[in-house]
Amino acid sequence: MKRVDVVSALIYDMDEHILMVKNVKGYWEFPGGAVEKGEHLQPAVIREVREETGYVIKVNELHSVREILFQDNMHHALIFTFFAEIIGGEMNILDPDHDIEEVKWVSNQDAEKLNPQLFSMLKLNKQTRAFYTFEGKRTRDQ
């Protein structure tokens, strides 16, 4: 299995809305993506958020580490999610891969409706400390 490191950012605004992006495949998630070879996690999440949303961020503490084995493409993914805050930029999709079709701020309730599985996996319905979880093996249909 090929190891893939992925980063994402959990960003709240002053009104407690969460920044989410809609992938061209139709699902909503938090901005982020693959860490490039030789890249450290913090610069990777800053780059990914800038590409997908147009915002410049400051990375704060770690939110979670999740581990998933994707059976279809034989990837072993570690997903590092960080709390972050916006320090500049403006909403604008700059994604060179053209994977993102929409960016928006949503309430906690709307985030849960847009991606209930992610909302649950990240334990956003309750206050938590940083955590690790093994999410098991997945196939394309999951």
User: Which residues are known to be catalytic?
Assistant: 102
Provide Rg for the chain, Cα atoms: 14
SS in 3 state form for the chain?
A: CEEEEEEEEEEECCCCCEEEEEECCCCEECCEEECCCCCCHHHHHHHHHHHHHCEEEEEEEEEEEEEEEECCCCEEEEEEEEEEEEEEECCCCCCCCCCEEEEEEECHHHHHHHCHHHHHHCCCCCCCCCEEEEEEEECCCC
Q: Contact 9/57 with Cβ under 8 angstroms?
A: yes
